[in-house]
């Protein structure tokens, strides 16, 4: 089992809705070669992602996150995560809530789930991220990388390989 699963979700032909995939691509490059980290392009997979979620020990979800100020980098942990997932920004987020619920009903879910994302400016049929969102990708990637490094350090401290 992989120690950390990073799941980027979104739709790259819907402008800033592709934020999660852009973050996953950047994080994949920075974690390249570390066998403890698996980065998955979840796209708009919906229920097809149940096995990915079930196999995750720790799950970091990267996505566009609803909020009032476009370009805000958001990091949600613990009880904040279900509230985010109940917020409907796009159809795939409803699917992710269903995926997490299905994993729980099937008896296997991640021990920890955290979300890093960016509040979108434009969610419309268009390729590419808005300048506002593209301008904060470095900050969001560093935030996501921080989550991964913290989890790996916790495993090292606990003596897990």
Rounded-to-integer distance, Cα 31 and Cα 2, Å: 13
Contact 17, 67 (CB under 8 A): no
pLDDT in tens, 7-30: 999 999 999 999 999 999 999 998
Residue-range domain boundaries for the chain: 2-158
**DSSP alpha helix (H) spans, 31-90:** 50-55, 80-86
Q: 75 burial class (0-12, 13-18, 19+ CB within 10 angstroms)?
A: middle
- The sign of the CA dihedral 24, 27, 32, 34 is negative
- Say what the pTM is: 0.89
List CB contacts of 108: < 8 A, sequence separation 6 or more: 54, 55
- CATH: 3.40.50.300, 3.30.479.20, 2.60.40.10, 3.40.50.1450. Which one for 2-158? 3.40.50.1450
Q: What sign for the dihedral angle of Cα 153, 99, 89, 17?
A: positive
**Do residues 50 and 104 make contact, with C-beta atoms less than 8 angstroms apart?**
no
| Among 35, 47, 49, residue whose Cα is nearest residue 2 | 35
Count each helix (H run) and each strand (E run) in the chain, helices first: 6, 5
pLDDT at 125: 93
Give the per-residue pLDDT at 32.
Answer: 83
Residue 68 in 3-state DSSP? coil
Mark the ranges of the chain whose per-residue pLDDT is less than 50.
91
């Amino acid at each position: 089992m992989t120690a950390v699963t990073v799941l980027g979700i979104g739709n790259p032909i819907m402008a800033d809705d592709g934020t999660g995939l852009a973050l996953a691509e950047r994080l994949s490059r920075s974690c390249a070669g570390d066998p403890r980290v698996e980065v998955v392009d979840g796209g708009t997979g919906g229920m097809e992602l149940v096995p990915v979620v079930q196999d995750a020990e720790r799950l970091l979800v990267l996505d566009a996150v609803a909020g009032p100020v476009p370009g805000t980098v958001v990091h949600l942990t613990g009880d904040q995560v279900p509230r985010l997932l109940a917020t409907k920004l796009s159809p795939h987020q409803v699917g992710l809530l269903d995926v997490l619920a299905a994993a729980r009903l099937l008896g296997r879910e991640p021990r920890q789930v955290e979300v890093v994302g960016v509040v979108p400016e434009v969610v419309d049929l268009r390729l590419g991220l808005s300048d506002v969102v593209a301008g904060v990708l470095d900050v969001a990637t560093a935030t996501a990388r921080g989550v991964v490094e913290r989890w790996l350090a916790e495993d090292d401290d606990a003596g897990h390989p």
